[in-house]
Amino acid sequence: MKKIATFLILLGLGALPALAESASFENVPVIDVSCSKKAAANPDAHTRSCALGCQKSGFGILTSDNRFLKFDPAGNKEMVKALEATQETDHLRVNVTGDVQGDTLVVSSIKLL
């Protein structure tokens, strides 16, 4: 019985990557998680200084259907680097690709516009 249960668990874990959906998002607003709800009404007014100040909460994008997708840890690190390198003060938008897993985007590439 233990062998069957172990097999089923391993089979289920092996199927997790199949649940991921590859996606590409162009010219979408990037917002820190802390401000995601209040900034959703006007994401382009969300500032770089606020995003950097709230960076510990992580980042994500607001999709065209108003869905907020959080970045994975690697995507968060790349976003911090991009924000620190830019002189943009607001209207923070990105092109990003990755795998959607639930409400998380496992980032494979990201470019701040």
Q: For strand 93-101 and strand 21-32, is the pairing parallel, antiparallel, or unpaired?
A: antiparallel
> For the chain, which residues make up each domain, given as ranges?
20-112
Per residue in 76-100, pLDDT (tens digit) is: 999 999 999 999 999 999 999 999 9
For residue 46, give Cα distances in angstroms to 32, 53, 89. Answer: 9, 12, 9
Q: Give CA–CA dist 80/87, Å, rounded.
A: 13
Q: Give CA–CA dist 64/31, Å, rounded.
A: 14
The closest alpha carbon to 94, from 27, 41, 47, 33, belongs to 27
Q: Give CA–CA dist 67/69, Å, rounded.
A: 6
Per residue in 20-68, pLDDT (tens digit) is: 789 999 999 999 999 999 999 999 999 999 999 999 999 999 999 999 9
pTM of the model: 0.81
Angle at 42 between CA 68 and CA 35, to 5 degrees: 55
Q: State how far Cα 69 lies from the chain centre.
A: 5
* Residue recorded with tokens 């709800």: 37
For residue 110, give Cα distances in angstroms to 22, 38, 76, 94. Answer: 14, 24, 10, 7
